[in-house]
Amino acid sequence: MRDVEDPSEPAVGVHALPSPYLLFLGDVTEPGFAKTALGLRDWAGDRCIGEHALPAATVSTGLPRLTPAEAAARGARAMVIGVANQGGVIPPAWVPELLAAIEAGMDLVAGMHRRLRDLAPLREAAARAGVRLHDLRVPPADLPVATGRKRSGRRLLTVGTDCALGKKYTALAIARGLGARGVDATFRASGQTGIMIAGRGIAIDAVVADFAAGAAELLSPDAAPDHLDVIEGQGSLFHPAYAAVSLALLHGSQPDRFVVCHEPGRSHILGVPGYAVPPIEAVIEQTVAAGRLTNPDIRCAGISLNTGRLDAAAAAQVIAETEARLGLPAADPIRGGDAFDRLLDACQG
Amino acid sequence: MRDVEDPSEPAVGVHALPSPYLLFLGDVTEPGFAKTALGLRDWAGDRCIGEHALPAATVSTGLPRLTPAEAAARGARAMVIGVANQGGVIPPAWVPELLAAIEAGMDLVAGMHRRLRDLAPLREAAARAGVRLHDLRVPPADLPVATGRKRSGRRLLTVGTDCALGKKYTALAIARGLGARGVDATFRASGQTGIMIAGRGIAIDAVVADFAAGAAELLSPDAAPDHLDVIEGQGSLFHPAYAAVSLALLHGSQPDRFVVCHEPGRSHILGVPGYAVPPIEAVIEQTVAAGRLTNPDIRCAGISLNTGRLDAAAAAQVIAETEARLGLPAADPIRGGDAFDRLLDACQG
């Protein structure tokens, strides 16, 4: 990260966030809107020092409640906006709290479409305090065009039959599971929540198309031969709006292995009338066909099934059926168990 | 197009350029750098009223030499920068000429990376004169996410085995050739030179990845059932940096037919060491595999061969060999002849 005075300048290269974090919950009363804060608690707990909320908030992460000044005194270096708001705006009631964090010397981190830097009071306060405003949906400046050069180290990418069915969760669970086995594995974030969890990354979907594969190359740099980058996927090659994002990430990641994420029972692409969710087989075929351009050794390690809507028996059945049909390990990482162990074996192999 | 006072605001929707044009040649002495102006003369001659150059220029389009004031008096509504410059910058010597065009009441049009609107004297003069600065590499504002909805009318897309081998030229030649047969065909531009020729379009490669397919949908709107949009392709599905641009354009264009553009003898992807130019067969297969997502009826109409480096006999031989091998019409649109007539037949079919 650069040391610059102008908080409105975008980062160069990959976004890198200072930590520990204070999680800002605003006035949230609906746990669904606090998904980001709860995810940070679960996946980056060692980087979260506490939470800060307005009196009206009823949702809590269970972390200590701290004012920005208290958090800063305990070493917090950034306050992360951990709640989504209708329309992605920043309500006026939040502004004094954001200013308090800035004045306590903390950076601000947000993944909303509305940019922190577009609010003059925040921009001016940040410049005065010498802290940065991290708008994770603003891509870093000066991204390179992809070179296609083969990088050292190993890579695994999560891909999907659709959006929003567990590609980030699967990548986190695989990185954590392999880490617990002693594998040198790093989660690599390609979306805003993932970036907050990892502390670094690039929101690939916000990058200009010409540079999207180049951004994906930056995301997983050269590494030791047995190091494994576990890269968070985006979109789906079968999504009529977002397939380009998925392809750029596939080409730039040059993965050796990929895991297909799928939600049994979901029949239609979210929000796109007339488009069926493709069979897992078709996703494997298209991912190999496109991915071998930058890595001829690409192959499918297995399947991650999001069985959250099924009971335990139905989940076990669909996992077993998928394994038998495809001849590949299948598991729901949230349910874990032997199935997930077999999926981890395949990710290592 | 909106009527706005601020010349620095991006267009909404598709870029739309006022014409006729005055072509600005700067101080160009190398015809290769005047490709844009020469292309405009050849493909949009009815929209070009004259040329304007500095005394040092030695290249000419053959159009009447006019000062900006003379051109404006004859009805010119925009001066188009028709020359490329080392590094894409705007040399100081050009600025007085650009200001003269603005003061004569003309819009300015440029496809360079360096934006006209970033030069304060131009921006201020344009605001005073009430004219617009069209930076074609700045995508329009408020582009939509693609819907995948099937549009009325017919569409043909040119695709390539690599970049820079004739996708724009082929689309222009097909649209002109079919127009001469009485077919209701429209060339649709996806890059800056194409936009100047067509007078409208979007530079797809400059669009944020999430919106690139949505931009491609805007490019070829609903049309009469027998209308044919002939869409300029970009990049290649086999280019490790630009495949995402090609895929967004393919999905958003939802073409019924495509023509593969190829340069016989080119063995490696331009500027990307270690990447071979794919066989035409592989491009057909991948284009159908990806394109059928938004148009299940997609198929290859034929092959456009850029035989500029071959003599007539060698060109005829490679055209005949390609037709025989693929069982599809193949032609070099620049050479024309019976082969090109057969390719046009297939584009109509």
B61-81 pLDDT per residue, tens? 999 999 999 999 999 999 999
Three-state secondary-structure class, residue A22:
strand
Which tokens go with A36? 């980001």
Three-state secondary-structure class, residue A338:
helix
The residue type of A88 is G
Least confident of B4-13, B70-79, B310-319: B4-13
Three-state secondary-structure class, residue B4:
coil
Q: What's the ipTM? A: 0.93
Nearest residue to A77 (alpha-carbon basis) of A120, A114, A46, A108: A108
Three-state secondary-structure class, residue A154:
strand
What would the mean pLDDT of B240-261 be, rounded to a whole number?
98
Please report which helix (H) or strand (E) contains residue B221, including its range.
Answer: none
The pLDDT, as a whole number, for residue B5 is: 43
What would the mean pLDDT of B269-284 be, rounded to a whole number?
96
What are residue A135's phi and psi, to 5 degrees? -95, 105
Q: Residue A265: left if φ>0, alpha if ψ -120 to 50, beta else—which one?
A: left
Distance CA A39, CA A42 (A): 5
Least confident of A61-75, B76-90, B278-292, B312-326: B76-90
What would the mean pLDDT of B117-131 be, rounded to a whole number?
97
The pLDDT, as a whole number, for residue A88 is: 75
Q: For chain B, what is the mean pLDDT? A: 94
Question: For residue A5, what pLDDT band results from cuts at 50, 70 and 90?
Answer: very low
Instruction: Please name the member of A208, A238, A240 whose beta carbon is closest to the beta carbon of B213.
Output: A240
Q: For chain A, what is the mean pLDDT? A: 94
The pLDDT, as a whole number, for residue B1 is: 31
**Helices and strands in chain B, H and E counts:** 11, 13
The residue type of B157 is L
A178-198 pLDDT per residue, tens? 999 999 999 999 999 999 999
The answer to whether B247 contacts A244, with C-beta atoms less than 8 Å apart, is yes
The answer to whether A289 contacts B286, with C-beta atoms less than 8 Å apart, is yes
Using a CB-CB cut-off of 8 Å, the residues of chain A touching B293 are: 238, 240, 243, 275
Higher-scoring residue by pLDDT: B329, B12: B329
Question: Which residues have C-beta within 8 Å of that of residue A4, sequence separation ≥ 6?
Answer: A132
Using a CB-CB cut-off of 8 Å, the residues of chain A touching B219 are: none
Q: Is A146 on the interface with B (CB under 8 A)?
A: yes
The answer to whether A147 contacts B243, with C-beta atoms less than 8 Å apart, is no
The pLDDT, as a whole number, for residue B11 is: 60
The pLDDT, as a whole number, for residue A1 is: 31
The pLDDT, as a whole number, for residue B4 is: 36
Interface of A with B in 275-294 (CB under 8 A): 275, 286, 289-290, 293-294
Question: For residue A84, what pLDDT band results from cuts at 50, 70 and 90?
Answer: confident
What would the mean pLDDT of A37-53 be, rounded to a whole number?
97
B185-243 pLDDT per residue, tens? 999 999 999 999 999 999 999 999 999 999 999 999 999 999 999 999 999 999 999 99
> How near does any CA of chain B get to the CA of A256, in Å?
16
The residue type of B15 is H
Q: Is A242 on the interface with B (CB under 8 A)?
A: yes
The residue type of A2 is R
The pLDDT, as a whole number, for residue A309 is: 96
Instruction: Indicate if the pLDDT at residue B267 is higher than 50.
Output: yes
Q: How many CB atoms lie within 10 A of CB A192?
A: 24
Q: List, in sequence order, the alpha helices (H) in chain A.
A: 35-43, 68-73, 95-103, 120-129, 167-180, 192-198, 209-219, 243-253, 280-291, 312-326, 337-348
> How near does any CA of chain B get to the CA of A238, in Å?
7
Kindly tell me the burial class for residue A209, based on how many C-beta atoms sit within 10 Å of its own C-beta (0-12, 13-18, 19 or more).
Answer: buried
The pLDDT, as a whole number, for residue B41 is: 96
> How near does any CA of chain A get to the CA of B275, in Å?
8
The answer to whether A241 contacts B210, with C-beta atoms less than 8 Å apart, is yes
A122-171 pLDDT per residue, tens? 999 999 999 999 999 998 888 999 999 999 999 999 999 999 999 999 99
List domains and CATH numbers for chain A.
15-135 (3.40.50.720), 154-348 (3.40.50.300)
A95-108 pLDDT per residue, tens? 999 999 999 999 99
Strands in B330-331's sheet, in edge-to-edge order, are B185-188, B228-231, B154-160, B257-262, B299-305, B330-331
Kindly state the percentage of chain B with pLDDT values over 70: 96
DSSP code of A231?
E
Which tokens go with A342? 């077999």
The pLDDT, as a whole number, for residue B85 is: 75
Distance CA A255, CA A257 (A): 5
The pLDDT, as a whole number, for residue B135 is: 95
Please report how the helices B280-291 and B243-253 are oriented relative to each other, as an axis angle in degrees rounded to 10: 50
